[in-house]
Amino acid sequence: MNEEIIYKDLGRMAYAEAWDLQEKLFQEVIAGKKDSAGATTPNYLLFCEHPHVYTIGKSGSEKNLLIDEDLLTAKGASLFKTNRGGDITYHGPGQIVGYPILDLERYGLGIRTYISLLEESIIALLNEYGIISSRLDGASGVWLDAGNANARKICAIGVRSSRYVTMHGFAFNVNTNLEYFSYINPCGYLDKGVTSLEKELGTSQDIEKVKTRLREVILQLLENH
């Protein structure tokens, strides 16, 4: 089934441009499901990095953005309200943002199981780097030292679905400038930290190598779930 997923590395792309592309593909897949009477529709896995941007999910609050518009501009960042789930998060250079546009019915997946699969892909990848990670009860994403005072998030997840087709996805901190998280309450949490692969390993990582392996892990989990 993996050959049915079209992978694209979009490189560095503005958030609005990537969102427009997602919406286009998302609507095409939904339309294909309606019109194809069971025929196969394409699926996509998009990877990219964004310039500095904060995004707020449909259940989020601007109160979790801790700086005003002037400082936002001074930091070279922008703000978008999105139609994904979740609260506020940050995207920026050195972070792998993944946008799977998948027809979950083709994989026999419900939305909760799908989100769990995305989390499991990050957990499995981190394990290859010798980093133990897990889920945090009551929260999406992937965490280190979940459940104790040093809990910190390394990957945020926020998904939208319609007719079992997904868009949006995950943001995995590889060489991310973590300073930008200090200007928000990440995902609405007041008492949780953030981290990156670079911070945990103590050295900058080859993000292209991480992308390649992460793509392989995601496709393998979809195939074998």
Which residue numbers are catalytic? Answer: 187
Q: For residue 148, what are the β-bridge partners?
A: none
CA separation for the pair 108, 113 (Å, rounded): 10
Pairing of strands 193-194, 152-162: parallel
CA separation for the pair 90, 88 (Å, rounded): 7
Residue type, 84: R
Residue 129's Cβ-side half-sphere holds a number of Cα atoms within 13 Å equal to 22
Token pair for residue 146? 């979940």
Asked if residue 160 lies in contact with residue 166, where contact means CB atoms within 8 angstroms, the answer is yes
Residue 189's Cβ-side half-sphere holds a number of Cα atoms within 13 Å equal to 20
What do you get for the CA distance between the two ends of the chain, in Å? 12
CA separation for the pair 203, 205 (Å, rounded): 6
